[in-house]
Structure 1
Amino acid sequence: MADESGDGASEEGQVPEREQGVEFGEDLSNALEGHDYPTTTEELVSEYGDYELTFPDGETRTFEEVMSIQQGGDDYEEPRDVQQAVMNSVGSGAVGREGYSDRGSGTAPDEEDQESV
Structure 2
Amino acid sequence: MADRDREMGVELGELSDKLDGYDYPASSDELVEEYGDYEIEYPNGSERFEEVIGPLSETYESADDVRQSILNMADSDAVGRQRYSDRGGTEQSSPDDDPDQASF
What residue number does 1:61 align with?
47
Identity value in percent = 47
Q: CA deviation at 1:9?
A: 1.6
Partner of 1:36: 23
Which one has the largest radius of gyration? 2
Secondary structure class of the residue paired with 1:60 = strand
TM-score (norm 2): 0.79
Q: Give structure 1 stretches of 5+ with no counterpart.
A: 1-7, 11-15, 108-114
Give 1:106 shift.
6.3
Alignment RMSD (CA, Å):
2.3
Q: Secondary structure at the match of 1:65?
A: helix
Please report the TM-score for the alignment, with normalisation by the length of structure 1: 0.71
CA distance, structure 1, for counterparts of residue 73 and residue 55 of structure 2: 6
1:4 maps to which residue? none
Residue correspondences, number:
95
Q: Which residue of 1 aligns with 2:9?
A: 21
Q: Which amino acid aligns with 2:24?
A: Y
Q: Please, which moves more after superposition, 60-69 or 91-100? A: 91-100
